[in-house]
Amino acid sequence: MTIEPSAGRVLVARENRSHHLERRARRGELHRIRRGAYVQGPAPTGWHGRCDDALARIVALRRQLSSPFVLSHTSAALWWGLPLVGDPLVTHIVQRTRPSARHDPRVKRHVLALRGDEIVTVRGVRVTTLERTALDCACACSDAEALVVVDAALRAGADRALLTSMVAANAGRRGIVRARTTVRRADPGAESLAESLTRHHLIEDRLTPISTQIAVDTRRGRFRIGLGWPAVKVGVEFDGRLKYEGDDGRSPAQIIFREKERHDAIVELGWLLLRVTWDDLGDPADLCRRVRALIRRQLRNRDVGSWRHS
């Protein structure tokens, strides 16, 4: 997914002949992303393509709207390059003026009091800061999506202390209780959307505390386990398809062989590793049941001290 589509891909009617754009759209050369704005090529079908279209709508809004606006919520997260759980079907902006009767239903205008230090310009678009973006998403999104965004915001450099103080300063705001919980749970060590979702399911099942990016020294060197419980030597790792596609110059066979060496070296030290896929995330109850089974096995069979999960 690109962070910003090239300017040449986004065509707006106010800068071109509208009937010419409409004719090209009918021929399938363009597809419309909002009233008076088009992107070259057919409409996307995949999730990444729809995210690209959401970015293109932001570019179009920047060129179409006469009143200034600030990009916010999940749209700001997308512009910052943070991962999202759902499709970004709606563009969120903060704008003082009220929409006209013909406003675009896919543009949601928020009436929020933004301080000057909560706004920055990123690639030509005024957008809420990472901390403000994380706060707004934590208040408005589901628990899972909120954790994904806040994990990623911290990983991208958001200041946790500042974010925590912003949560405290917004007492009484709708969704602030969820935001407080999300910020407390957030961990920049979750390196992907999938790892954040996995952590969310485990936390909801009270399998805490969870460590991230656990360093393990083996005979083959130091490796890191995505998340787990070092006291009982149980680790959970997400296995995505991209992991084995060899985009670093190695063949898939080389990657798989190296991953097997890594796995064996960690297991030799007494660790149990559970590999999680997207299908597993579709059944959180079963995922958590399997994790608990591994923890019970370690507690029963190994001398791992008196560690207990909640």
Residues 208 and 228 in one domain: yes
Task: Work out how many domains the chain is built from and give that number.
Answer: 3
Report the alpha-carbon distance of residue 212 to residue 147 in Å, rounded.
Answer: 14
> Could you tell me the CA-to-CA distances from 189 to 113, 140, 150, 192, 221 in Å, in that order?
32, 23, 11, 9, 20
HEC-encoded secondary structure of the chain? CCCCCCHHHEEEHHHCCHHHHHHHHHCCCEEEEECCEEEECCCCCCHHHHHHHHHHHHHHHHHHCCCCCEECHHHHHHHHCCCCCCCCCCEEEECCCCCCCCCCCCEEEECCCCCHHHEEEECCEEEECHHHHHHHHHHHCCHHHHHHHHHHHHHCCCCHHHHHHHHHHCCCCCCHHHHHHHHHHCCCCCCCHHHHHHHHHHHHCCCCCCEEEEEEEECCEEEEEEEEECCCCEEEEECCHHHHCCCCCCCHHHHHHHHHHHHHHHHCCCCEEEEECHHHHCCHHHHHHHHHHHHHHHHHHCCCCCCCCC
In the prediction, which pLDDT does 102 show?
A: 63
Residue 20: both structure tokens together: 């010419």
308 inside domain: no
The residue with greater pLDDT, 209 or 5, is 209
Report the alpha-carbon distance of residue 42 to residue 217 in Å, rounded.
Answer: 50
Report the alpha-carbon distance of residue 290 to residue 251 in Å, rounded.
Answer: 32
115 inside domain: yes
Residues 53 and 77 in one domain: no
140 inside domain: yes
Residues 202 and 178 in one domain: no
Q: Is the pLDDT of residue 46 over 90?
A: no
Report the alpha-carbon distance of residue 150 to residue 96 in Å, rounded.
Answer: 27
pTM of the model: 0.87
Range of the domain at 16: 1-64
In the prediction, which pLDDT does 103 show?
A: 73
Residues 120 and 51 in one domain: no
Residues 90 and 25 in one domain: no
Per the CB < 8 A criterion, the answer to whether 133 and 149 are in contact is yes
Q: Which residues pair with 94 in a beta bridge?
A: 70, 110
Examine the fold and report which residue of 64, 87, 105 is the final residue of a domain before the chain moves on.
Answer: 64
In CATH, what number is assigned to the domain containing residue 255? 3.40.960.10
306 inside domain: no
Q: How confident is the model at residue 80 (pLDDT cuts 50, 70, 90)?
A: very high
Q: How confident is the model at residue 248 (pLDDT cuts 50, 70, 90)?
A: low
Examine the fold and report which residue of 21, 46, 64 is the final residue of a domain before the chain moves on.
Answer: 64
Residues 93 and 181 in one domain: yes
Query: pLDDT (tens digit, 9 = 90+) per residue, 52-77?
Result: 999 999 999 999 888 899 999 999 99
Q: How confident is the model at residue 264 (pLDDT cuts 50, 70, 90)?
A: very high
Examine the fold and report which residue of 188, 218, 251 is the final residue of a domain before the chain moves on.
Answer: 188
Residues 148 and 200 in one domain: no
In the prediction, which pLDDT does 309 show?
A: 59
